[in-house]
Structure 1
Amino acid sequence: MRSLTERDIRGSFVNCSKGEAQRLSVPRDLGERDWEALDFLGWRDPGAPDRSYLVTERGNRLVGVTLRLASAQRGFLHRSMCSLCLTTHPGSGVSLMTARKAGAAGREGNSVGLYMCTDLACSLYVRGKKVPEGGGRFQESLTTEEQIERTLGNLSAFLGKLDVPGAE
């Protein structure tokens, strides 16, 4: 992924108003990110624990989506798998995140949900740059590049369900 500026990020959101995009919390460490190791930028809002954001390149444009975390917490012994990167986590390491659909459907209240790594660090887990606390990744016969492509395919499918325009 190419490096992003705050302006890039705020202008990318497709499922919230421009005013909401201007008010949301943007990471302060953009200059320190390992952009080459990211397939998408994902972060939690420190001021609103039920909100997360994801920005990715889709086709030749940036696409950002606002996400809401479900409030249900799981016990530490319960394990869940992220639907994007297939990393398993104990407890609350995977959360159901919902996003309003883009356009008129979203304004009518329609949304789509997906179980994702709560910290949205899928790119780092797939590449082995981050290890989930108490969790892990299955040993696979796929190469790292193939796992990255699968993760991107899963993300693209999710964005497609949100009616986000761009390349499939």
Structure 2
Amino acid sequence: MQPLDADAIRASFVNCSRGEAKSVTLPTDVPWPTRDFLGWRDPKAPGRAYLVVPWGPSVVGLSLRAAPPATSRLRSNMCGFCSTTHSLSDVTLFTGRRAGKSGREGNTLGTYVCANLACSAYVRGELKSNVPQPVETLSLEERVARMEDKVRRFVERILETR
């Protein structure tokens, strides 16, 4: 992903007000070359998360809400973006208001994703889950492409204005 400055990140949000975008706590020290999208949790408001995704020649930013963490560690779940298996508490339901009139009417869309939104790092093996992973025959490039497709489809559904 190409490096973005604070103004570009704040201007990218499509499902929140400009005032909300101004109050976003931005991440620091992002390893841009190894990120396919920028995702982070707000350290000042743990229930808030943000996703900034390359979108054609620009980027699209989404404001998300994180469901409270699960209390059981006995089960596991798979990330809807990177397909990494985690303990149940390390996968979170993230919901985002839909863009436009639909979102203003209260319509949301959700998906279960790595709680730390570090999917790019898991796909590349920079981070490891504490749960054994199924064996995959896909190459790194194919796994990255699969993840990018899943993220793109989620963003497309948020942007739908029907």
TM-score of Structure 1 vs Structure 2, range by shorter chain: over 0.9
Please tell me the residue identity of whatever aligns with 1:18.
R
Please give the residue correspondences for 1:1-168 in structure 2 after superposition, counting only pairs within 5 Å. Answer: 1-27=1-27, 29=28, 32-132=29-129, 134-163=130-159
Q: Which amino acid in structure 2 is aligned with residue 62 of structure 1?
A: V
| Equivalent pairs, count | 161
- Is the 1:45–1:51 Cα contact (8 Å) retained in structure 2? yes
RMSD: 1.4
- State percent identity of aligned pairs: 44
Residue deviations 1:79-138, cap 9 Å, x none? 111010000111310011100001110000000000000000000000001112x12432
CA distance in 2, matches of 1:137, 1:149: 19
TM-score, structure 2 as length reference: 0.94
For the residue of structure 2 that corresponds to 1:161, the secondary structure is helix
Secondary structure of residue in 1 paired with 2:77: strand
Normalization by structure 1: what TM-score? 0.91
CA shift, 1:36, in A, is: 1.2
Give, in whole Å, the separation in 1 of the partners of 2:13 and 2:159: 13
One-letter amino acid of the counterpart of residue 149, structure 1: A
Partner Cα distance (2:97, 2:148) in 1: 20
Q: Identify unmatched segments of 5+ residues in structure 2.
A: none
Residues 16-59 of structure 1: CA distance to partner in whole angstroms, max 9, x if unpaired?
011110011111x2xx3221110011110111111100111111
Distance 2:141 2:131 in 1: 21
CA contact (8 A) 1:87 1:136 kept: no
